């Protein structure tokens, strides 16, 4: 049996959000989950990987929480300044990776700080599936509930064909130069960009969807954190 060769990669972690939907006393990436902060769990999955070339976290300019974490002193982790929107934070992180020696044709994985339950199996699946892909792609989950399109009155307008609908997760894996140019171009054109794939789509590419685990969820609301806490306790 041949063992697949995993490509080496850089990681950019956007972590400059305020977590308004969590309604907590601090940005959600610094909330505690099973004895560590959420962002420390998120980083662990990458720091333990032999293919890691370097990691950039994009942080709010005046972030009082990061310097208190042990990982702030880890030489493999560098910080960049976050921006007003997630896409600005990602672009800043990509540019910083270039100053650290990342090349335009290197793979870069962008992963939300608030997504602490990424499994090593999913990470390796993404790397293996996309290793030879000309564009790159993302972990995603095929929609499994029946989907409705709502009207302005809050009532169902129609049932949508769910077989072609996927939820976009992270990590999203692209070539650094292509992603930076797509993000810069889309932001410059005033296009709303909510993930890296949408920037590549704007640039005319068709990122690959790699089926991932549904429990790689982004902590968004208080119940997401409660769910992860219960799961990790059992
Ligand atoms: N993020 C970022 N820079 C921003 C906004 C968001 O780096 N200007 C990061 C967040 O820290 C998070 C990820 O992008 O890790 C996903 O964003 P989201 O879940 O929307 O986080 P927040 O913006 O912090 O939350 P909310 O939208 O509820 O305020
Ligand atoms: Mg947000």
The whole-number average pLDDT for the span 158-187 is 98
The whole-number average pLDDT for the span 30-58 is 97
Question: At CB < 8 A and 24+ separation, what contacts does 89-93 make?
Answer: 89/14, 89/15, 89/16, 89/17, 89/58, 90/12, 90/14, 90/58, 90/183, 90/196, 91/180, 91/183, 91/184, 91/187, 92/58, 93/12, 93/13, 93/14, 93/56, 93/57, 93/58
Q: Which ligand is nearest to the CA of 31?
A: 1
pLDDT at 234: 72
pLDDT at 4: 74
pLDDT at 233: 84
Residue 54 confidence (pLDDT) above 90: yes
CA of 67 to the centre of ligand 1 (A): 19
Residue 34 confidence (pLDDT) above 90: yes
| Confidence label for 196 from pLDDT (cuts 50, 70 and 90) | very high
CA of 87 to the centre of ligand 1 (A): 10
Cα 79–18–24 angle (5° rounding)?
A: 125
CA of 6 to the centre of ligand 2 (A): 31
| CA–centroid distance for 187 within its chain | 18
> Which residue, among 220, 232, 233, has the nearest Cα to 24 in the 3D structure?
220
Q: How far is CA 163 from CA 122, 143, 210, in A?
A: 22, 7, 15
**Residues bordering ligand 2, an ion, CB closer than 5 Å:** 17
CA atoms of 139 and 122, how far apart (whole Å): 8
Q: List the helix and strand counts (H, then E) for the chain.
A: 6, 11
Report which ligand 1 atom has the smallest distance to the Cα of 85: 8
- For the chain, which domains are there? 9-138+168-233 (3.90.550.10)
The whole-number average pLDDT for the span 141-164 is 97
Q: Which ligand is nearest to the CA of 89?
A: 1
Number of Cβ within 10 Å of residue 49's Cβ equals 18
Residue 169 confidence (pLDDT) above 90: yes
The whole-number average pLDDT for the span 84-96 is 98
| CA–centroid distance for 109 within its chain | 8
pLDDT at 232: 86
Residue ranges around ligand 1 (CB below 6 Å): 14-21, 27, 29, 58, 82-86, 89, 112-114, 218, 220
Residue 149 confidence (pLDDT) above 90: yes
Structure tokens at 42: 């998120």
- pLDDT tens readout for residues 67-82: 999 999 999 999 999 9
Tell me which of 86, 89, 225 to substitute to probe ligand 1's pocket, judged by most ligand atoms within 8 Å of the beta carbon: 86
Average pLDDT, the chain: 97
The whole-number average pLDDT for the span 171-188 is 98
- pLDDT tens readout for residues 108-145: 999 999 999 999 999 999 999 999 999 999 999 999 99
Residue 1 confidence (pLDDT) above 70: no
């Amino acid at each position: 049996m041949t063992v697949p060769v995993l490509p080496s990669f850089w990681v950019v972690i956007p972590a400059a959000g305020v977590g308004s939907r969590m309604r907590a006393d601090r940005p959600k990436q610094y909330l505690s989950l099973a004895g560590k902060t959420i962002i420390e769990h998120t980083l662990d999955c990458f720091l333990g990987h032999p293919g890691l070339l370097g990691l950039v976290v994009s942080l709010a300019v005046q972030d009082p929480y990061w310097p208190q974490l042990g990982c702030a002193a880890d030489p493999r982790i560098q910080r960049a300044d976050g921006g007003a929107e997630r896409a600005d934070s990602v672009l800043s992180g990509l540019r910083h990776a270039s100053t650290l020696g990342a090349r335009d044709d290197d793979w870069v994985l962008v992963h939300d700080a608030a997504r602490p339950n990424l499994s090593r199996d999913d990470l390796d699946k993404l790397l293996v599936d996309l290793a030879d892909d000309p564009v790159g792609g993302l972990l995603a989950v095929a929609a499994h509930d029946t989907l409705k399109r709502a009207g302005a009155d809050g009532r169902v307008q129609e049932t949508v064909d769910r077989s072609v609908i996927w939820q976009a997760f992270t990590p999203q894996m692209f070539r650094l130069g292509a992603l930076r140019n797509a993000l810069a171009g889309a932001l410059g054109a005033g296009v709303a960009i909510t993930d890296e794939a949408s920037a590549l789509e704007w640039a005319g590419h068709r990122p690959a969807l790699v089926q991932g685990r549904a429990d790689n969820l982004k902590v968004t609301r208080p119940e997401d954190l409660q769910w992860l806490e219960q799961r990790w306790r059992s």
